[in-house]
């Protein structure tokens, strides 16, 4: 089934290759998943090598109010009465052979998770990829003024123990899961090692998060020894932090909550309840993952 949905250029396989992947959707708050892959594609000069056909994996039409169903519809554009753009979900593979690396950015599928996973693992098999690293993010009780915390999951005890030396916390979670959890349960059966890196982003900040993208890129560059120029990312990160700080300081109640988060961070209180902040965010329609 995967062969009919997967389009992959013929090319020489890698040598114990690696894949970094990010999916839009549930675990892409702040665009950390897709944004990190985008940075790596550009920085490494990676070339497009394949894609997954979207038709079998997404729901385009659902009954319900327009505000809800719009989340599932393809994107289109009409100019002067003419349709000039019609975009369905993209699932794109790139290759940076000098770094022995494949990059994958896609949209988490609504349907047929097994077939979608088969496409990812077929690329791994055909290009001799032996390890996959997923990057993502979740909203949490953290602050924009401190270094983003990154949690980790691993497909084996050996890999988990190796990652403890990289300053990431091991994830402890129970609840609804994403496509990535399914991939991680399947990876050992395919003889592939798989890692999960998840950045914790501030729940009170919406939109693109350059600081978390920089932190994730820096971690990947160190772990995989990738030649990434990080200084320009730091400039964007600092500018973003300053803009957010100015906005926060204009809201006295939010500024008070952020100071509490800063203290919890500095005191290394990772599981703080912060019920007052949760209530404050809930009143404003902000969800905590």
pLDDT at 279: 63
**Inter-residue contact 141 to 205 (CB < 8 Å):** no
Residues 6+ apart with CB under 8 A from 35: 22, 208, 209, 210, 213
For residue 149, tell me if it sits in a domain.
Answer: yes
CA atoms within 13 A on the CB side of 248: 21
Query: Is 197 among the domain residues?
Result: yes
The answer to whether residue 289 is domain-embedded is: no
Q: What pLDDT is attached to residue 286?
A: 47
Residue-level length of the chain:
289
- Long-range CB contacts (within 8 A, 24+) of 154-162: 154/193, 154/194, 154/195, 154/196, 155/184, 155/187, 155/188, 155/192, 155/193, 155/194, 155/195, 156/188, 156/193, 159/193, 159/195
Total structural domains in the chain?
Answer: 1
Tokens of 197: 């890196």
Q: Which domain holds residue 164?
A: 2-283
CATH for 99:
3.40.50.10900
pLDDT, position 272: 52
In a domain, 288, yes or no: no
Per-residue pLDDT of the chain (289 residues; tens, 9 = 90+): 566 899 999 778 999 999 999 999 889 999 999 999 999 999 999 999 999 999 999 998 877 787 777 777 888 999 988 899 988 899 999 999 999 999 999 999 999 999 999 999 999 999 999 999 999 999 888 899 999 989 999 999 999 988 887 777 888 888 888 999 999 999 999 999 999 999 999 988 889 999 999 999 999 999 999 999 999 999 999 999 999 998 888 888 888 888 888 888 887 765 555 556 656 555 655 444 4
Rama region for 2: left / alpha / beta (φ>0; ψ in -120 to 50; rest)? alpha
pLDDT at 275: 57
Q: Where are the beta strands (DSSP E) in 80-210?
A: 82-87, 92-96, 101-107, 129-140, 150-154, 169-170, 193-202
Q: What region does 254 belong to: left with phi over 0, alpha with psi -120 to 50, or beta?
A: alpha
In a domain, 254, yes or no: yes
pLDDT of 25: 87
pLDDT of residue 288: 44
């Amino acid at each position: 089934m995967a062969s009919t949905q997967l389009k992959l250029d013929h090319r020489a396989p890698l040598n114990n290759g690696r894949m970094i992947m990010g999916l839009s959707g549930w675990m892409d708050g702040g665009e950390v998943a897709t944004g990190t892959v985008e940075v790596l594609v550009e920085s490494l000069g990676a070339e497009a090598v394949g894609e997954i056909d979207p038709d079998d994996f997404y729901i385009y039409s659902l009954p319900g109010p327009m505000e809800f169903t719009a989340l599932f519809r393809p994107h289109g554009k009409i100019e002067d009465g003419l349709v000039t753009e019609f975009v369905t979900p993209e699932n794109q593979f790139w290759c940076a052979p000098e770094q022995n690396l494949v990059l994958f950015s896609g949209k988490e599928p609504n349907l047929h998770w097994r077939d979608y996973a088969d496409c990812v693992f077929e690329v791994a098999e055909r290009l001799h990829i032996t390890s996959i690293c997923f990057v993502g993010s979740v909203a949490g009780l953290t602050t924009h003024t401190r270094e983003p915390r990154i949690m980790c999951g691993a497909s084996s005890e050996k890999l988990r123990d190796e990652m403890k030396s990289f300053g990431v916390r091991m994830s402890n979670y129970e609840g609804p899961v994403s496509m990535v959890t399914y991939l991680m349960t399947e990876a050992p059966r395919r003889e592939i090692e798989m890692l999960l890196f998840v950045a914790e982003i501030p729940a009170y900040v919406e939109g693109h998060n350059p600081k978390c993208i920089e932190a994730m890129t820096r971690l990947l560059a160190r772990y995989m020894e990738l030649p990434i120029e990080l200084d320009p990312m730091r400039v964007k990160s600092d500018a973003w932090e300053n803009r957010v700080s100015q906005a926060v300081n204009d809201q006295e109640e939010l500024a008070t909550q952020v100071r509490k988060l800063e203290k919890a961070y500095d005191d290394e209180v990772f599981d703080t309840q912060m019920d007052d902040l949760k209530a404050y965010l809930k009143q404003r329609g902000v969800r905590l993952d």
